[in-house]
Amino acid sequence: MEQASPKHILLGITGGIAAYKAAELVRLLVKRGHAVQVAMTPAATRFITPTTMQALSGHPVLVDQWEAADNGMAHIAAGREADLVVIAPATADFLAKLAHGLADDLLSTLCLARDCPLLAAPAMNKQMWANPATQRNIAQLAADGVALLGPASGELACGEDGAGRMLEAEELAEEIEAALQPKPLAGINLLMTAGPTYEAIDAVRGITNRSSGKMGYALARAAREMGATVTLVSGPVALPCPAGVTRIAVESAQQMYQEVMRRAGEADWFIGVAAVADYRVAQTSGQKIKKSAAPLALELVANPDILADVASLPDAPFCIGFAAESENLHDYAAAKRRAKRLPLLAANLAQSAIGADDNELILFDDNGEHPLPRADKPTVARALLAHAARLYRKGKP
């Protein structure tokens, strides 16, 4: 399976109050299987102790560039071992050092001597962030290929509210994971659907499908990690939008259809993961239908088939479909792929996947069936997209 193996991450901590978040970040990265080496500026040790960071990372913390370890070459050795350097928090002062190539302590020297990508998570007062000098430094870092993670807007340590807040540890962990993934989808404009649709009966009732949206959102996240530009047309779910993904919220199948068709012509790939209701009520009531002893008859009409219509476009994107069946999985999924002329279809038994955090898929393509063993949904998503990328490259002239 083409996904990132555990990596060596060098986490640099500078002297800001947001340094406390670095402890949770280390814990999350270690939990994901990565080896984390922490390096701190002397100022950072005033906010959180090296002892804490050593206990969480399992490695001695680098602070003093004059220590005799590694023959005085800790900045060279650590930089060569790292697959990624992350500075979190990155203060205005340290961003200025990076922008101008200064190296007057261990961490800044390490960044200058590194041979791997560098990510920085700014954290500072809103006036410091907005200052023209800081913005010039940010522009220079972007031109130098340094990726900035944030900052977010919100309540700051100084009591003010505005831009300058460091991203939360979970958000940073997701961004770091994305940076570590292979990029087989670089340059791909991906359009996809996820979640259920809701078809109103009256002001309070409706027809829907059982779908948590977890598989679709895992795919959106994985596709973005793998380099794609992702637009997610989503039905109503209780999930946060994956970082870096553009989400368009819809409710009904017709709304989803309109948003998809509006964008399908610009997409390289389309993935139909949403559990779209096959039918809607012909005539909805603007008010609640009062309960009575008499039978209630509803006339249902078919909703548009989003996947089929996208796949039949004159210059159709590379289309991937999903099928959730309750029985005869192999026969029904293979028939659906043939009927809609899809290069790839992913299928599972609905009763084993809806609402769960893990999944088990069978991929159907022109070469037959390819089972993906049960795993957490992000892992399954990466495996599916890796398979799809191979098919896509094979089919390109």
Name all domains of the chain by residue range, CATH numbers in brackets: 8-180 (3.40.50.1950), 189-395 (3.40.50.10300)
Six-digit token string for 364? 């159907």
CB atoms within 10 A of CB 69: 11
User: Is the pLDDT score of 178 beyond 90?
Assistant: no
**3-state DSSP assignment of residue 345:** strand
Which one is catalytic: 111, 116, 158, 241?
A: 158
The mean pLDDT of the chain is: 91
Least confident span in 155-159, 231-235, 239-243:
155-159
User: Is the pLDDT score of 263 beyond 80?
Assistant: yes
- Does residue 241 have an active-site annotation? no
Q: What is the pLDDT of residue 324?
A: 86
Q: Residues in the chain, how many? A: 397
Q: What is the pLDDT of residue 66?
A: 72
- 310 vs 355 pLDDT, higher one: 310
Cα distance between residue 50 and residue 72, in whole Å: 19
User: Is the pLDDT score of 354 beyond 80?
Assistant: no
CB 121 within 8 A of CB 86: yes
Residues contacting residue 331 through CB under 8 Å, at least 6 positions apart: none
Cα distance between residue 344 and residue 322, in whole Å: 9
Six-digit token string for 244? 């870096």
Six-digit token string for 220? 């959106």
What is residue 290's DSSP assignment? P
Cα distance between residue 221 and residue 242, in whole Å: 5
- Whole-number Cα distances in Å, 160 to 19, 111, 164, 280: 18, 31, 10, 49
User: Is the pLDDT score of 358 beyond 70?
Assistant: yes
Mean pLDDT of 82-87: 96
Q: What is the pLDDT of residue 200?
A: 94
**3-state DSSP assignment of residue 292:** coil
Q: What is the pLDDT of residue 294?
A: 82
Q: Which of 180, 266, 198, 256 is nearest to 230 (CA)?
A: 266
User: Is the pLDDT score of 156 beyond 80?
Assistant: no
CA 65 to chain centre: 36
User: Is the pLDDT score of 72 beyond 60?
Assistant: no
Mean pLDDT of 107-125: 93
pTM of the model: 0.78
